[in-house]
Copies of this chain bind each other. A is one copy, B any other.
Amino acid sequence: MPGQSAGRHVGLVTPTTVRLFTPDDPLRLARGGRLDQVDVAYETYGQLTAAKDNAVLVCHALTGNAHAAGFHPGAAKPGWWDHLIGPGKAIDTDRFFVVCPNLLGGCQGTTGPGSLDPATGRTYGLDFPLLDMADFVAVHRRLMAHLGLTRLLAAVGGSLGGMQVLEWSLSHPEDLANAVIVAASSRLTAENIAFSAVAREAILRDPGFHDGHYAEAGLTPESGLSIARMMAHITYLSGEALSAKFGRAAQQVGQQAGFGVDFAVESYLRHQGEVFSDRFDALSYLYLSRVMDYFDPFARPQATAAIAAARPGVLVIAFTTDWRFDRRHSLRIVARLHGAGVPVTYRCVPSASGHDSFLLPIPRYTDTVGAFLDRAWEVIRA
């Protein structure tokens, strides 16, 4: 149970699901439309203080989920950010109460396009409304209220999660004493959008997509989703990392050349695609990636007025070999916040692992997050 672990991990955790919006109190969406029922899956680690001043909210990336740390009963592998979250770790569950929700539009416990539409009894499919980064924040704010939290010690997120933290910092900075934005972007480039467009095209063109109603038809666009993931996966790594890991090694010595997995890197990618299409939903991929494409918060009028007044602590982290969101994306965030008079700590961490560095146990990265939160905690407690 949360906070009971004596080891390096938070121990066994179980996900919780809560209904946060209902027909009497629907979620009104930023781009129009509403959702009459929103369930949110989340996990918590550590204990909330009586003063409720030690809550850290963790925002996951495009294909992440609520299981950020510790082990589910019987599982061999811990949550996706277990390197960062646990007793004595950067996000220290001996001191902090950590909450990680699956985001709106996801497919891992929180309501999304693959959920049943209560109005029709069918899965939403492409009838699910278009989402916006602001909707993710609205749902997470409701979860805060549900948990009795009025202010977070910090919101922390990587990639899409970092973008969500940025949105939150700009739109409701009063909620956050601190924000940690890792390997994120305030505005995708044409190339970023292009890669996501091809991934979506692979999904949409798969006959198994069935106009988004694949689940009812007993189909799945697994080929399209695999291809989307294989391609995206290349962009999450660095050329350097792929060369170091695979080089030009043959998958099997002496095998006949052909169009299968001749090279080890091909076998790896195909495996990534297969595993992914088993665990992730194609509709969620479409909806969440589109939110990233449209995200451009600094373009709004008075974009930085609220954060300039609230002045939360902000830490922005980039990685040297991340080319999906290269350091210029992070520097743009830093520059815009500096321009508004908001103090920002910026680190570009050396790493050979590309964009996915934010998921890896890189000491200069985890130590930077840890030191930032240590200081944040000291300030709050002072």
Residues of A within 8 A of B (CB): 31, 126, 130, 187-191, 193-195, 197-198, 200-202, 204-205, 207, 223, 226-227, 230-231, 234, 237, 239, 242-243, 245-248, 257-259, 262-263, 265-266, 269-270, 273, 286, 290, 293-294, 296
Contacts and interface: CB of A to CB of B under 8 A. Distances in A.
Closest 3 CB pairs of A and B: A190-B242, A191-B239, A205-B223
Given A188-B248, A200-B259, A259-B200, A194 B234 contact: yes
B191 A242 contact: yes
B194 A257 contact: no
A266 B194 CA distance: 6
Nearest to A289: B259
Nearest to A229: B198
A232 to B, nearest CB: 10
Contact of A226 (B201, B239, B245, B269): B201
21 contacts: A31-B257, A188-B248, A190-B239, A190-B246, A190-B248, A190-B265, A191-B239, A191-B243, A194-B230, A194-B265, A195-B234, A197-B269, A197-B270, A198-B231, A201-B226, A201-B230, A201-B273, A205-B226, A227-B227, A262-B293, A263-B293
A160 to B, nearest CB: 17
Contacts of A290: 257, 259, 262
Nearest to A296: B248
Contacts of A262: 290, 293-294
